[in-house]
Structure 1
Amino acid sequence: MTPHGGEKEERMASVGGTVRVFTRQATGLTKEIGTLDTFVYNVNNQNIGIGVAFILLFVPGFYVAADGGRADMFQSMVIAAILALPMAAVYALFAAAIPRSGGDYVYISRTLHPLLGFVASWNWVAWMTVYIGVPAAYFAKYGLSGMFRSIGVALGSADLVAFANNFVDPVWILAVGTILIAFFAVIFALGTRIYFRLQNVVFAIGMFGVVLAIALAFLGNSADFAANFDAYVGGAGGAAGASGNAIEVGAASFEQTLFSSTLPQFIVLFAITSSFLGGEVRRARVSQMLGMPGGVLFVTVWMILLVAAVQNLVGLPLLGGISGGYFSPGDTFGLSFVPSYNELVAAAYPGNVIVALLLGFTFVFWTYVWLPINFLASTRALLAWSIDGLMPAKVSEVNEQRHTPTVAIIIVAVLGWISLFMYTIGIGGFKIDTLYGIFGWILSFILCAIAAIVFPYRHRAVFESSPVNWRVGGIPLMSIVGAVATVALLVVEYIWWADPINGLAGTPAIFESLGIWPPIMIALTAGVFVTGALWYLGARAIQAQRGVRIERAFAEIPPE
């Protein structure tokens, strides 16, 4: 670890008696991100397509109590939205009050303590880089596989179905994911504006697919679906009578519903990533409010509509059977992988190649979208650390022509590829299992919510001059929202700890069936915070030996 050093690399100035220590007085980034860009960025990071796919693949078959009580998917989505909205408002208020790159690294380090801010941000980047590699894998695993299989079944082509099965092979997933990560690294190196143009186009394609799936599911013949599903599975080379795996459906259980909210929470909790791009967003107050809390509401409504449409077509008993066969598709259905909702809707229109193509093709554009979003946000976090002296100065260098941090892009691309490898191939039998990292990730959110309570009092002048200096009964609205968000996030944290399926303290049988040793995931979660603290303390010690007190940088708001 060699944070930037030497007097030549420091830009030190005394203004109003306060010493500033930054690598430079401007990031070199430009305000290229508009309101629509911000909204789409956050909606994509929630991910309607993958969100609904995961809810349908895991909730109906796994969130079932011993007495038959089941989770209510609609209540689950509403609970998730209620818990996520206060936090989204906190990040939107901060992004408007301090529109700087780096997200809650800036908010927490300037309000609570530099160490807490850096560790929270380190935690963010650790998991964001994981979610560069994982969606790179999803592109093949859930996207290309289902698209080619549904087209193959519609065409009656066994060869195309066999080709589709390749995309769930770890080596194929690694190869396709590597190409995808390299593609986005090049896009980001060429310019942020290029990415946002691409993002908005593919978002339109993805939303068209969601609307199409809803319409076709509601218009499809639910009475004939079991027979059509049997024909689809048979056409894919699967077992006969696949619809016979339908389960009995019991009454709704609040406990199962609450725990199952981890799946929609996994979606709507992440409507806040545009905060990392704060210094590049135009009209921050409007853009961030629309993009964060507005994004949560937008995504929740569309998820409810899509789940309702698919449940109406397929029926909850069969959805439960399909979900329950997720980890044993060969034994249950004679298939290499269970179908996602796009395949289920296509199955209702047997032999219709156009329907299969449109549903499969548009769904592909939901599978990978976390990749570029987390990629871009991670580079901005590294840039912010570097400006404060916690990373080498080279990391914050920005290409003067393209306004992109080239070194940071390379670092993030490498980290993303490592996560892809650990998700697909692994080392010594150990692979990354993604959902078990959410518990640790939420700790950063809690710190930010606490910072929101304190910020209007700790930085009164900045708050009063901000466009969000609103008060309710004389109390800053930001503090009120921060307090509500803190309580909501503590509830969220409990759910992510206790949920027997996705919680960090999950049922041992679940861990064993997935080949995961629980203490490893717990140690990994704790290790992220420990390594972050060690990096900060090491960087501070190195800079102190050079005569630089990096604490002085945290006394000011960083440059735009």
Structure 2
Amino acid sequence: MEKSHLFIRESSGLIKQVNFLDVIMLNIGNMSAGLALYTSITPYVQPGSNLLIATLIGFLFALPQAYIYTYFVTKIPRTGGDYVWISRTLNGAIGTVMALSLMIESLAYFALTAFFASSAIQTVFSEIGSLNSNQALINLGNVLTQPIYSFILGFVIFAIIIGINIVKAKWGYSLISVLGVISLATTIIAMGVILANVNNFVTKASNIITLMGGNVTSYSGPTFSLSATLFMLPFLALYTFPWMQAGPAVAAEIKGKNSLKYNVFISLILTFIIVMAGYGVMYYAGGYSFTTAQYINNGFIYTFWTVAIGLSSNQVLEWIIGLGLILWEVFILAYGAIVFSRYIFAMAFDRVLPSFLTNVTKSGSPIFTHLLDLGATAFFLGVIVFLGSQNALALYGATVLGALYFLVVSIAGIMHGVKYKNIILIPLGAISAGYFAYLTYVSATNPDFGFVNSNGMPNPITLAFVIGTLVFSALVFIASYIYNKRKGVDLNMIYKEIPPE
């Protein structure tokens, strides 16, 4: 078959309209530094652990992965990013199964984020209501956490985001940039508020904990434990730093070589600075013992954000910081809408998924991939309501698929390095592969990540979801291979070529 007829068409139809700020903010949303300072990491703090050192180690181990992504995105700047690299370097089936599995896992994560965004809203409403004796605000926050209202709220927010992207692709990227700038600005404001209250921080923070229903505790553990610090590393590694594939996934739409070359490293460094500064001001203001004690015993109410809101002493400032926390949640949904659509688009362009998913509007929006995203996310939101929110939390355990995916990307880096005799890519790929092999093991064996229960047995919901996702993705590829073979198209030939742009 002629090379020109392998793919759906000669041009993707996507437009180069993503500027430097857009792609940086897209990556920062992917790494979700603001939520690392909320409740995704600190509730799991161990006696003697130091989050600053754990963050530094996590950042250093992310550097080899960042090099791999930077190398590939500059050599092969295609829609779908690492899906294209894996499928062309290793095998089409491996690339498809891993990328499709990651997207299904991402759908569950986005649905959970949309559903539990109400918890961030409830936290903000409840705290500001309590600080200002506004019972109506507290009641409203409590109402929004009820399953049906969480579903409606999450769906409406996501539907608006999808609608913006469908109307004009550039608007979707502009939304990312606006959300990113506001989220970062409010995070910096929150840091300033905490630093402005250093002199009486412990007293005020203790009052905040009591106000929110917690009990202030003291600390008698070690001031530092390497093992406890390393215990925290997987939380940072699995929830923050490795998620750097957003920019590369839209590489075909990025304007300028510098944007391609530097977006991954700049986003990683900025995320590192945000996380380090956030934890740093908490340690500096409260001291190690007080801060660690509250993280251990009040980890879900004593956070960077709740402390900053409580210390504001100004209702306008309280709302600005509270809005920042809420917008970090929306930020994730906004980047997710774009990234999911581009992965699905890339697989459809390779004929693995139905060709209508490659249809693009005049403004460069892959309309049907966005509609698929909205429908699938609505389905997962419904599943969460049907299962019950506590059971739905088990879906977070599918993080193991993310760790496994990045392991495969690292292996692709090694194989590419061997094939083209790249003496830098080989060792860095090996380090990255070893790291993600470890993280895959941890995410599959540590109960805190949800894949296994405290008794060491897999959570049945998580296990069924993970296995079902992998099996479904494999069946999609097999069915597509057979279908295309009957039409005279060999998918193996497609994966020997780079998609045209």
Q: How high is the TM-score relative to the length of structure 1? A: 0.82
Q: CA deviation at 1:498?
A: 3.9
Post-superposition Cα deviations, 1:35-62, rounded to whole Å, max 9, x if no partner, equal 22111110121122101113564133xx
1:395/1:228 CA distance change after superposition, 3 Å: closer
Distance 1:480 1:20, change over 3 A: farther
1:445 alignment partner in structure 2: 406
- Residue 322 of structure 1, CA deviation: 4.6
Cα distance in 2 for partners of 1:44, 1:489 equals: 21
Partner of 1:84: 62
Of 445-454 and 116-125, the range deviating more from structure 2? 445-454
For 2:439 and 2:357, how far apart are their aligned partners in 1? 35
| Secondary structure, aligned partner of 1:29 | coil
Quick one: distance in 1 between partners of 2:89 and 2:335?
A: 26
Residue 398 of structure 1 is matched in structure 2 by: 360
Deviations 1:127-186 (Å, cap 9, x if unpaired)?
2212321221243211x2232223323322122222222233222221110111110110
Aligned to 2:486: 545
The aligned runs of 1:119-158 (5 Å cut-off) are 119-142=97-120, 144-158=121-135
C-alpha displacement of 1:225: 3.1
Deviation sequence 1:461-510 (CA, Å, 0-9, x none): xxxxxxxxxxxxx744333432332223223323323434226345338x
Match of 2:316 in 1: 354
Matched with 2:438 is 491
C-alpha distance in structure 1 between counterparts of 2:295 and 2:198, whole Å? 21
Q: Whole-Å Cα distance in 1 between the matches of residues 309 and 10 of structure 2?
A: 55
Secondary structure at the aligned position of 1:482 is classed as: helix
Are 1:378 and 2:340 counterparts? yes
1:280 correspondence with 2:264: no
> What CA distance in whole angstroms lies between the structure 2 residues aligned with 1:347 and 1:309?
15
Alpha-carbon shift at residue 409 of structure 1 (Å): 0.8
Shift in alpha-carbon separation, 1:103–1:224, aligned structure 2, 3 A: closer
Are the equivalent residues in 1 in contact too, given 2:82–2:245 (CA < 8 A)? no
In the alignment, structure 1 residue 168 sits paired with structure 2 residue 145: yes
Deviation by residue 1:6-41 (Cα, 9 ceiling, x = unmatched): xxxxxxx62xxx574111111110111122211111
Q: Does 1:262 align with 2:234?
A: yes
Size of the alignment, in residue pairs? 500
CA distance in 2, matches of 1:168, 1:141: 6
Amino acid at match of 1:155: N
Aligned-CA RMSD value: 2.6
Distance 1:523 1:486, change over 3 A: same
Paired residues of 1:83 and 1:489 also in contact (CA < 8 A): no
> Residues of 2 paired with 1:440 and 1:342: CA distance?
29
> What's the counterpart of residue 345 of structure 1?
308
Aligned residue runs from structure 1 range 157-306, under 5 A: 157-221=134-198, 223=200, 225-226=202-203, 229-230=206-207, 233-234=210-211, 238=213, 242-265=214-237, 266-284=239-257, 286-306=258-278
Distance 2:379 2:203 in 1: 42
**Which moved further from structure 2: 18-27 or 298-307?**
18-27
2:216/2:294 contact within 8 Å kept? no
* SS of match in other structure, 2:500: coil
Asked which structure has the greater CA Rg, the reply is 1
Distance 1:326 1:389 in 2: 51
Q: Does residue 522 of the first structure (1) align with residue 463 of the second (2)?
A: yes
SS in 1 for 2:469: helix
* C-alpha distance after superposition, 1:317-362 (max 9, x if no partner): 55455545569xxxxxxxxx73542221232344x21331221122
User: Hey, what does 2:27 align to over in structure 1?
Assistant: 42
Q: Distance in 1 between matches of 2:291 and 2:492?
A: 55
Aligned CA distance change for structure 1 residues 502 and 257 (closer, same or farther; 3 Å): farther
The 8 Å contact of residues 198 and 286 in structure 2, kept in 1 or not, is answered as no
CA contact (8 A) 1:88 1:272 kept: no
State which drifts further: 46-55 or 531-540: 46-55
Residue pair 1:310, 1:345 contacting (<8 A) in 2 also = no
Deviations 1:347-405 (A, max 9, x none): 2344x213312211222211222212122111111111111111111111111x22111
CA distance in 2, matches of 1:264, 1:168: 27
More helix by share: 2
Match of 1:52 in 2: 37
Q: Does the aligned pair in 2 maintain the 1:230–1:243 contact within 8 Å?
A: no
1:332 corresponds in structure 2 to none
Question: CA separation in 2, counterparts of 1:291 and 1:145?
Answer: 34
CA contact (8 A) 1:70 1:250 kept: yes
Alignment of 1:23 onto 2:1: no
The 8 Å contact of residues 179 and 331 in structure 2, kept in 1 or not, is answered as no
Relative to structure 1, is the Cα distance of residues 526 and 309 closer, same or farther in structure 2, using a 3 angstrom cutoff? same
Match status 1:436 vs 2:397: yes
CA distance in 2, matches of 1:75, 1:231: 27
Hey, what does 1:99 align to over in structure 2?
77
1:523 is displaced (CA, Å) by: 3.7
SS of 1:555's equivalent in the other structure is coil
Deviation at 1:274, TM superposition (A): 1.4
Post-superposition offset of 1:231: 6.0
- Answer whether contact 2:105 2:401 (CA < 8 A) is retained: no
Runs of 5+ unmatched residues, structure 1 = 1-12, 64-68, 328-336, 461-473, 512-516
Q: For 1:228-250, what per-residue CA distance to the aligned partner results, in whole angstroms no more than 9, with x for missing partners? A: 5336744x6x4xxx443444433
Do the aligned partners of 2:29 and 2:331 also contact (CA within 8 Å) in 1?
yes
Deviations 1:107-136 (A, max 9, x none): 111111111110111122112212321221
Q: Compared with structure 1, are the counterparts of its residues 104 and 387 closer, same or farther at alpha carbon in structure 2 (3 Å cutoff)?
A: same
Per mean C-alpha deviation after superposition, the further-off stretch among 243-252 and 116-125 is: 243-252
Give 1:409's match in structure 2, choosing from 367, 370, 375. Answer: 370
CA displacement, residues 269-326 of structure 1 (integer Å, 9 cap, x when unaligned): 1122211112111224x32442212212211122111112123334555545554556
Q: Is the 8 A contact 1:386 1:392 kept in 2?
A: yes
**Mapped contact 2:399–2:449 kept (Cα < 8 A):** no
Question: What secondary structure, in the 3-state scheme, does the structure 1 residue paired with 2:6 have?
Answer: strand
Instruction: Specify the alignment match of 1:307 in structure 2.
Output: 279
Q: Distance in 2 between matches of 1:218 and 1:211?
A: 11
Report Cα offsets for 1:493-531 as digits up to 9, x if no partner.
Answer: 23323434226345338x9xxxxx624323422332222
Partner AA of 1:97 in structure 2: K
Alpha-carbon separation, structure 2, partners of 1:486 and 1:182: 37
Corresponding residue for residue 499 of structure 2 = 558
Matches within 5 A, 1:111-122: 111-122=89-100
Amino acid at match of 1:366: W
